[in-house]
Amino acid sequence: MCNIPWFQVNQPSFKSFFQKYICCNCSNRKTIPDESLLWKVYLDLFFKKKLRSIYDNISGQKLWISLDETTDFLGRYIVNFLVKPLNGCSQKPFLIACKVLKVVNGNTISEFVVECLQNKWQNSYEDKVGDVLVLCTDSVAYMLKAGRLLKQYLPNMKHVTCLAHALHRVSEKIRDEYSDVNVLISNVKKVFLKAPNRVNILKENFPNMPLPPQPVITRWGTWLEAASYYAKYYEEIKTVVGLLRSSESISIRNAKNILKKANLKNDVMYIDEYYRIIPIALKSIQTSNLSIVQALDIFDEVRAVLGWCSSELVKLKLEYVINRNPDLDVIRGIRDDIVLDKQEENPSLSNYNFVPLTSVDVERSFSMYKWILNVKRNCLKVENMEKLMVIYYNSLSNNFNDNSTDTDDIFDVDDDDTD
């Protein structure tokens, strides 16, 4: 799973190395197939075996499903679809589809989900639709519409939107409200970015002080973490920036000007005091195998803390994202029944113990997509891209019995699989 382009197998030096150190461990001393054979035969073979293993693993289980959409650098709409069996906490979600959609809206998303489930269940689709218990997406309008449409096909499905996305939306509102702090964070980041001389000045004056963080606004919670850094090291940063020459760059001039504002220190202190809980909660709520009791307790704690702050806009933003979560109140009711130990009265409650309330696994699958398909490797066919994604993601993310990954089976081709 090193993501080595397959044309490399035709390079004599690579083939010699692979044959000597990898194939020598095979019991039958097999040889490396040609690149064209890998694409034409083995990729499809491994894809079918991987899907078969996944379907066997989730057969007869109640399911959590999740999907999301992104746009790749070629401008295509990519939708990834994940499923998770609700039989315990240890199982991670499986990626079963990675498709390109020409148009993304509520109708195309719902049709995509139905198509994936029909491919999985085949003739037993009508009997299995009740097995899907939870759909988790983000809160964009077309996903909310897709959830409403899917309830017509999946009668037992509850639709929840990602709690991590909700907290991120609140973080964005905080960043908008404190524009001076945003200017400070943005410009000080530029001051020390790829500037070893300025870093040396900071280290000489404050050797035990860490470098200023470099937040990315699309990475959940990093901006608030940066604000907490400036609350802790405000005076030190002000001193170091004061030692730099304004003529060196615009970012230094901007940083010096913003540090002259009297309210700036109070703003970063206030953010650290009332909003530091959000990045902590974001990290906790993304933890694997988190129960719905733990996840909702974390989210409710953030809601309670934000209730103490003086910013009405932030409070309203939080309530707005909560109100856009279609079945959150239903999930809360299930959580309450679990806490009250009503599982003897309602045995189906056990299916909800470890339902993920975030869609972070889909986001992680997009990271793998960008790892496989990049500017230097952009000629993959759409169908080959999906097969590679399913093989790579499920091999790296899940541990279950899958004979297709055994070393001795790598170059074995069953006649039944190649018909």
Give residue-wise pLDDT tens across range 350-370.
889 999 999 999 998 998 898
Contact predicate 374/86, CB 8 Å? no
The SS3 call for residue 343 is coil
Amino acid at 171: S
Question: Ramachandran region of residue 161, left (φ > 0), alpha (ψ -120 to 50) or beta?
Answer: beta
User: Could you tell me the domains of the chain?
Assistant: 44-162+358-399 (3.30.420.10), 163-325 (no CATH)
Strand-pair partners of 1: none
Of 272, 66, 305, nearest to 162 by C-alpha is 66
Three-class secondary structure of residue 88 per DSSP = coil
Q: What are 303-354's pLDDT values in tens digits?
A: 999 988 878 999 999 999 999 999 999 999 999 999 988 877 888 888 899 9
Closest C-alpha to 94, from 124, 121, 67: 67
Q: How far apart are CA 170 and CA 180, in angstroms?
A: 18
Please list the rounded mean pLDDT of every run of 10 residues in the chain (419 residues). Answer: 67 75 59 75 88 88 94 92 84 90 95 93 88 94 96 95 94 94 94 92 93 87 94 95 92 94 94 94 90 94 88 91 94 93 82 92 90 80 90 72 40 40
C-alpha of 366 from chain center: 7
Q: pLDDT value at position 404?
A: 39
Burial class (CB in 10 A: 0-12, 13-18, 19+), 88: exposed
> Cα–Cα distance between 97 and 387 in angstroms, integer?
9
123 CB contacts (<8 Å, ≥6 apart)?
Answer: none
- How far is the C-alpha of 80 from the C-alpha of 93, rounded, in Å? 12
Q: Whole-angstrom Cα distance, residue 69 to residue 123?
A: 28
pTM: 0.84
> For 261-297, what is each residue's pLDDT tens digit?
999 999 999 999 999 999 999 999 998 888 999 999 9
